[in-house]
Amino acid sequence: MFSYRHAFHAGNHADVLKHTVLIATLQHLLQKDAALTVLDTHAGAGLYRLDGDYASTSAESADGILRLVPPAAPPALAPALQDYVDMVRAFNQGDATRVYPGSPFITQRLLRAQDKLKLFELHPTDARSLAGNIAQLEAGRQVAVLQEDGFEGVKKFIPPPARRALVLCDPSYEIKSDYLRVQALLQDALKRFATGVYAVWYPIIPRAEAHDLPRRLKTLAQKAGKPWLHATLTVKSSKLASPAAGEGARRPGLPASGMFVVNPPFTLQGVLREALPQMAQLLAQDRNASHTLEVG
């Protein structure tokens, strides 16, 4: 159960999509003076070394964030992508990008004094790393690290006192039950706090549960009468092109991922309509790269 470590995947194409959506969502929500509570169900270690043992083993950042920063950076990025790149660059010195901020540090960097951040991480090693990394911020009571199951833990904080919240849910999905737990989390949260913003990341892989998840989330949002946004980014085919590989042979690595947001900011569709095509172009690993964006 504790096999997944996000350090192996830090800064990959899925992080580019997830964190671009996260930043754009937070930028809108933080325009109002009222306090915002952010709940991160699977926080990870918070900060990652791209030149460390974990990240360099898979080198997934080479086809992710490192395609968007100097010297590989294109002359002009869509505003939402530029905001994402600027955020990552803020954690680095000079042109080298050696440190990648996970969602806890991206969120904390944007929050104001009145806002709160609750970070859940069950993996014992990552929870210790997260606590140590957060301690260096000297953020006081603004940020809480909780070593517990985020699916259950968030229930204690929904709804928050100020009645404004963003819940980010991005489990590893290594355990098949995660798909059903994401669905159950959203269903329960919408009953507790129908006006919260809920952002769910999921992998797009050849598995029935992954295919069904966005459809199930749409149904939940529609039954609750809530607007939703669904964005996907594909960087390559999931199938090997070589006939020698055999019929139905799978290509290694994650081919695509999606973000499903319930009660999205009204500005999110516009910024993603500009950013997603560029994302697909710049992060493409073969001619099957594509993107989708739908709202309801």
Q: What integer pLDDT is reported at residue 6 of this predicted model?
A: 67
Q: Looking at residue 20, which CATH number applies to its domain?
A: 3.40.50.150
296 annotated as a binding-site residue: no
DSSP string, 1-50: -----GGGTTTSHHHHHHHHHHHHHHHHHTTSSS--EEEESS-TTSEEET
DSSP designation for 203: E
Q: What integer pLDDT is reported at residue 21 of this predicted model?
A: 98
Is 18's pLDDT higher than 90? Answer: yes
Are the beta carbons of 231 and 17 closer than 8 angstroms? yes
Indicate the number of domains in the chain: 1
Q: What integer pLDDT is reported at residue 251 of this predicted model?
A: 63
Q: What is the mean pLDDT of residues 141-147?
A: 95
Is residue 131 a part of any domain in this protein? yes
Interatomic CA distance for residues 182 and 169, integer angstroms:
7
Which has the higher per-residue pLDDT, 246 or 276? 276
* Mean pLDDT of the chain, nearest integer: 91
Is 244's pLDDT higher than 60? Answer: no
Q: What is the mean pLDDT of residues 98-118?
A: 96
User: Is residue 188 among the annotated active site residues?
Assistant: no
Is 89's pLDDT higher than 70? Answer: yes
Q: What percent of the chain has pLDDT over 70?
A: 91
Is 236's pLDDT higher than 80? Answer: yes
Is residue 40 a part of any domain in this protein? yes
Are the beta carbons of 60 and 12 closer than 8 angstroms? yes
Please return the burial class of 101, using the count of CB atoms within 10 Å of its CB with bins 0-12, 13-18 and 19+: buried
Q: What integer pLDDT is reported at residue 137 of this predicted model?
A: 84
Domain range enclosing 101: 6-241+248-295
Which has the higher per-residue pLDDT, 220 or 138? 220
Confidence band for 247, pLDDT divided at 50, 70 and 90: very low
Note the pTM of the prediction, 2 decimals. Answer: 0.93
Is 38's pLDDT higher than 50? Answer: yes
Is residue 290 a part of any domain in this protein? yes
123 annotated as a binding-site residue: no
Is residue 1 a part of any domain in this protein? no
Q: What percent of the chain has pLDDT over 90?
A: 82
152 annotated as a binding-site residue: no
Q: What integer pLDDT is reported at residue 140 of this predicted model?
A: 81
Is residue 32 a part of any domain in this protein? yes
Is residue 230 a part of any domain in this protein? yes
Which has the higher per-residue pLDDT, 235 or 242? 235
Is 130's pLDDT higher than 70? Answer: yes
Tokens representing 71 are 């010297």
209 annotated as a binding-site residue: no
Q: Which of 40, 63, 170, 178 is catalytic?
A: 170
Is residue 106 a part of any domain in this protein? yes
Tokens representing 158 are 């929904």
Is residue 257 a part of any domain in this protein? yes
